[in-house]
């Protein structure tokens, strides 16, 4: 298989005719960088950073030298940042994939009444996958066009062609993204079905014909029966893929010593995708439990071993109706994943199952169980992988909240960008919970350019900070008119940064390029990248992403730092779905508190817009008092702040809730 972690190979729909990603001007990036970090640093830190940045940018200095090298690189490559970005974002990351890296889409909960129902669902879904694969093979997917801001430009399609053809191979220091060569003649194709932690090869092309839904059901039924045979059962080897990448690479090299294992690994690495037939997971299903189950499988005792995390697409079908897709993120972004899964769900609702009665009776050869030869080292590594996964399961603090009070139509009526508005609401929520701003990541697509992936909208703008302070610190001087002006300024700043990013002029990819090219040139690391400010600005305590859907489902993922939040949101016309994650082990975070602050902020922002629209800036409101709120969203406690020592059921009323490591919860009284 060719290596994909350098330059992806060319296929039709790659977007060769799209413009190349621009290289921002050095001085512009340095100015924006200073503006982005100033309010996140102390005065002393900032003054030091200012000097370092000035030194880096002096005429004839390090910055200009590195910039010239990037200019040359841009001329020679289709996308100057692609491989730097891929390594930095994914392949160099040693953390375990579940929760830390792999996002998931959660389907609407299914109601399977009979055991056969869930096999039928899986067969129907798989038949949709094969149909979609036919479209991909024929390069028949319509080109995507940008929507929302600067709508209408064509987008690079190459990510789609990696959905079913790539594999993330673990390495001792860096992983490798590998891809199967596309061939003119259709190759025999197979999927891997995971059931009771066993892996089975299901050939989906036989005698040059793709299996139909009926055949697929027959084969899945055989797999279920084979998996039930306890005598044949093999240890839960899939758990190894849930471990840290270096540990998994080590385990894989042990496995590779035996030819049986090499053959089995080869079958998994070359499959189209996995179908994970999960057992019922125990607790009563809710959006939150389903999201957690998709992200980690519930650990070794549940479905955690019924996965192979290196494979980009794992379709999970749970006997209890908890279904979705878990994705290895390095080959593509969530938006491409959504397009594919929406196709599948529409296929399933638009073309009713063709299985009228029982499954096919035709004599298809039985699927094969993958065999493994276990060395004592492997048994130990499976046990340690199980322990690590268990810790991750216990650690994940997931909270999915459907906010029903309004959606993007209300925001559009205020003549504001819904995405910018939600980002400002997230800044308000964080400030309310923690009393300070933090470096924030919002992914923005740069697919307008050749091989474009994403860059970062730094949503913690100084304008957002001014607004959230006015909303939370209850200053006597902040009346509605002033708050509304600050809200407008925050939204404008956010929208401006969005446009900067989607047009390829943001700073994160540029700074990464400068840092990496210095390393490639074997230069000593420039001071700007050793500076504390750079580290602080890259600790994304708030990691956010808009993943909108047109079909009922939602996306979720974990936080990217131990003391942070992962917030994925899906704005709909009249409601917004938020998936908030954090880690229980951090004394600083709590997903339920964050959601409560978020809900309160969204309601406050709506009320502010309504009051200002109706021209009522009464003396009472000028004094910072909130009018009564009416909410459709069920929250146990409208004011989310808690005093130190208070239990969750006791409401409190300060405007800002601060968590610190010394004291689990501190409250900061309104000034
Ligand atoms: N007044 C009224 N309407 C407005 C408006 C305003 N001031 N500003 C925007 N709108 C409208 C837009 O026209 C658009 O309308 P539509 O729903 O009819 O298309 C809608 O509001 C949404 O626009 P907006 O909220 O501004 O955001 P967007 O859709 O342009 O999205 C990003 C912004 C950054 C999320 C998007 O560009 C992007 O990059 N998405 C990909 C993110 C990603 O990669 N996620 C997955 C990571 S794994």
Whose tokens are 């009464």? That residue is 618
- Which residue lies with its CA nearest to atom 35 of ligand 1? 546
The whole-angstrom separation of Cα 407 and Cα 250 is 48
Q: Residue 282 and residue 194: Cα distance in Å, rounded?
A: 19
**Mean pLDDT in residue range 410-420:** 97
In a 13 Å sphere around the CA of 424, the CA atoms on its Cβ side amount to 36
pLDDT at residue 181 above 60?
A: yes
Instruction: Of 187-191, 516-520, 561-565, give the lowest mean pLDDT range.
Output: 187-191
- Give, in order, the Cα–Cα distances in Å from 350 to each of 325, 353, 505: 20, 9, 41
pLDDT over 70, % of the chain = 86
Q: Is 147 in the pocket of ligand 1 (CB under 6 A)?
A: yes
Measured in degrees and rounded to the nearest 5, phi and psi for residue 313 equal -120, 115
- In total, the chain counts a number of residues equal to 671
Pocket lining: 155 vs ligand 1, CB cutoff 6 Å: no
Mean pLDDT of all residues in 345-368? 74
* Residues 273 and 312: beta-carbon distance below 8 Å: yes
The single residue listed with the structure tokens 């300024």 is 489
HSE of 210 in the Cβ direction (CA atoms, 13 Å)?
14
Per-residue confidence (pLDDT) for residue 525, from 0 to 100: 97
Substitution candidate for ligand 1 out of 546, 548, 570 with most atoms within 8 A of CB: 546
Kindly compute the dihedral angle of the four CA atoms of residues 443, 447, 453, 456, in this order, to the nearest 10 degrees.
-30
Ligand 1 centroid–CA 14 distance in Å is 24
* Contact between 220 and 228 (Cβ < 8 Å): no
Indicate the SS3 state at residue 565: strand
Enter the pTM of the model.
Answer: 0.90
* 149 Cβ below 6 A of ligand 1: yes
Q: 3-state SS string over 414-454?
A: CCCCHHHHHHHHHHHHHHHHHCCCCCEEEEEECCCCCCCCE
- H/E segment holding residue 73: helix 62-76
Residue 417 alpha carbon to ligand 1 centre in Å: 7
Written as one string, the DSSP assignment of 344-384 is HHHHHHHS--S--SSPP-S-PPPPEE------HHHHHHHHH
pLDDT at position 254 = 94
Query: 651 falls in which pLDDT band (50, 70, 90)?
Result: very low
Instruction: For tokens 């390095």, name the residue.
Output: 330
Question: DSSP for 134-163?
Answer: HHHHTT-PPPPB--STTTT-B---GGGGGT
Q: Lowest mean pLDDT: which of 229-238, 345-354, 361-370?
A: 345-354
Does residue 144 line the site of ligand 1, with CB under 6 A? no
- Are 291 and 104 within 8 A, CB to CB? yes
For the annotated catalytic residues, the residue numbers are 329
pLDDT band at 485 (very low <50, low <70, confident <90, very high): very high
Q: List Cα–Cα distances, 17 to 78, 451, 481, 501, in angstroms.
A: 11, 11, 48, 21
Helix (H, G, I), strand (E, B) or coil at 27: helix
**Helical segments of 503-629, H only:** 508-520, 527-530, 532-537, 591-613, 619-622
Q: What's the 444 CA to ligand 1 centre distance in angstroms? A: 10
Of 338, 341, 412, the one to substitute when testing ligand 1's pocket (max ligand atoms within 8 A of C-beta) is: 412
Handedness of CA 83, 86, 88, 90 (dihedral sign): negative
Residue nearest to atom 46 of ligand 1 (CA): 334
Cα separation of 141 and 135, whole Å?
A: 6
Q: Verify whether ligand 1 is closer than 6 Å to residue 601 (CB atom).
A: no
The per-type count for the chain, helices as H runs and strands as E runs, is 20, 20
Contact 617, 480 (CB under 8 A): yes
DSSP per-residue letters across 237-289: GGGGGGS-HHHHHHHHHHHTTSHHHHHHHHHHHTSS-EEEEEPP-SSPP-HHH
Kindly report the protein residue whose alpha carbon is nearest to atom 10 of ligand 1. Answer: 417
Percent of the chain with pLDDT over 90: 80
In this prediction, residue 230 carries a pLDDT of: 85
pLDDT at residue number 625: 38
Least confident of 5-14, 120-129, 431-440, 530-539: 5-14
Ligand 1 and 528: CB distance under 6 A: no
Mean pLDDT of the chain: 89
pLDDT(635) > 70: no
Residue 11 has phi, psi (to 5 degrees) of: -135, 165
Residue 337 phi, psi dihedral angles, 5° rounding: -60, -40
Residue nearest to ligand 1 atom 14, measured at CA: 148
Domains for the chain: give ranges and CATH numbers: 94-143+154-354+364-397 (3.30.559.70), 404-506+517-615 (3.30.559.10)
Q: Among residues 551, 115, 88, which one has the least CA distance to residue 325? A: 551
The 10 Å CB-count burial string (b at 16+, else e) for 209-244 is ebbbbbbbbbbbbbbbebbeeeeeebbbbbbbbbbb
Q: 547 in ligand 1 pocket by Cβ < 6 Å?
A: yes
DSSP helix/strand/coil, 167:
strand
How far apart are the C-alpha atoms of 459 and 424, rounded to whole Å? 8
The answer to which of 65-69, 205-209, 355-359, 394-398 has the lowest mean pLDDT is 355-359
- What are 275's strand-pairing partners? 193, 315
Instruction: Report the alpha-carbon angle 142-143-148, nearest 5.
Output: 120
Helix (H, G, I), strand (E, B) or coil at 656: strand
- How does residue 46 score in pLDDT terms, banded at 50, 70 and 90? very high
């Amino acid at each position: 298989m060719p290596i994909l972690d350098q330059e992806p190979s060319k296929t039709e729909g790659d977007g060769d005719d799209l413009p190349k990603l621009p290289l921002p001007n050095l001085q512009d990036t340095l100015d924006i960088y200073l503006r982005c970090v100033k309010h996140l640093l102390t005065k002393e830190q900032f003054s030091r950073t200012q000097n370092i940045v000035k030194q880096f940018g002096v005429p004839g200095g390090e910055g200009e030298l590195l910039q010239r090298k990037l200019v040359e690189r841009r001329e020679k490559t289709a996308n100057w940042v692609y491989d730097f970005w891929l390594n930095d974002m994914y392949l160099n990351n040693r953390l375990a994939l579940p929760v830390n890296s792999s996002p998931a889409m959660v389907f609407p909960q299914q109601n399977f009444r009979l055991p056969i129902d869930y096999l039928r669902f899986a067969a129907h879904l798989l038949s949709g996958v094969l149909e979609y694969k036919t479209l991909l093979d024929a390069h028949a997917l319509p080109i995507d066009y940008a929507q929302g801001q600067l709508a209408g430009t064509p987008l690079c399609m190459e990510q789609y062609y990696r959905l079913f053809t790539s594999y993330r191979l673990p390495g001792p220091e860096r992983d490798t993204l590998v891809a199967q060569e596309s061939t003119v003649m259709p190759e025999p194709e197979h999927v891997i079905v995971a059931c009771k932690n066993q892996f089975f090869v299901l050939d989906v092309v036989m005698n040059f014909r793709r299996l139909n839904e009926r055949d697929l059901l027959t084969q899945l039924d055989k797999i279920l029966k084979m998996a039930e045979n306890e005598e044949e059962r093999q240890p839960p080897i899939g758990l190894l893929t849930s471990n840290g990448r270096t540990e998994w690479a080590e385990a894989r090299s042990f496995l590779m010593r035996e030819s049986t294992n090499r053959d089995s690994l080869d079958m998994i690495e070359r499959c189209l995708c996995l179908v994970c037939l999960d057992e019922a997971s125990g607790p009563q299903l809710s959006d939150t439990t389903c999201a957690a189950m998709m992200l980690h499988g519930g650990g070794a005792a549940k479905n955690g071993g019924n996965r192979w995390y290196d494979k980009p697409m794992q379709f999970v079908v749970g006997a209890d109706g908890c279904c979705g897709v878990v994705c290895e993120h390095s080959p593509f972004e969530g938006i491409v994943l959504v397009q594919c899964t929406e196709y599948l769900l529409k296929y399933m609702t638009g073309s009713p199952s063709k299985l009228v009665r029982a499954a096919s009776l035709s004599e298809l050869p039985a699927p094969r169980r993958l065999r493994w030869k276990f060395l004592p080292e492997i048994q130990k590594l499976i046990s340690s992988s199980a322990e690590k996964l268990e810790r991750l399961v216990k650690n994940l603090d997931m909270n999915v909240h459907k906010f029903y009070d309004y959606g993007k139509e209300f925001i559009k009526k205020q003549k504001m960008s819904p995405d910018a508005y939600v980002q400002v609401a997230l800044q308000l929520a964080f400030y309310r919970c923690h009393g300070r701003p933090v470096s924030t990541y919002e992914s923005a697509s740069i697919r307008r350019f050749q091989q474009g992936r994403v860059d970062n909208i730094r949503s913690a703008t100084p304008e957002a900070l001014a607004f959230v302070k006015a909303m939370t610190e209850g200053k006597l001087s902040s009346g509605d008119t002033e708050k509304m002006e600050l809200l407008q300024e925050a939204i404008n700043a956010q929208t401006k940064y969005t446009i900067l990013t989607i047009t390829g002029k943001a700073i994160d990819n540029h700074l990464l390029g400068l840092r990496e090219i210095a390393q490639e040139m074997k230069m000593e690391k420039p001071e700007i990248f050793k500076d504390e400010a750079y580290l602080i600005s890259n600790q994304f305590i708030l990691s956010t992403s808009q993943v909108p859907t047109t079909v009922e489902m939602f996306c979720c993922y974990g936080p990217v730092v131990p003391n942070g939040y992962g917030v994925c949101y899906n704005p709909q016309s009249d409601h917004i779905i938020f998936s908030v994650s954090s880690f229980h082990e951090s004394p600083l975070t709590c997903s339920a508190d964050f959601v409560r602050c978020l809900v309160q902020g969204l309601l406050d922002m709506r009320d502010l817009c309504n009051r200002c629209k109706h021209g009522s800036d009464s003396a009472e409101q000028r004094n910072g008092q909130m009018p009564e709120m009416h909410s459709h969203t069920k929250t146990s406690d409208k004011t989310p702040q808690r005093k130190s020592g208070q239990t969750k059921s006791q409401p409190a009323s300060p405007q800002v809730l601060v968590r610190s490591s010394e004291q689990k919860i501190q409250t900061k009284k309104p000034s």
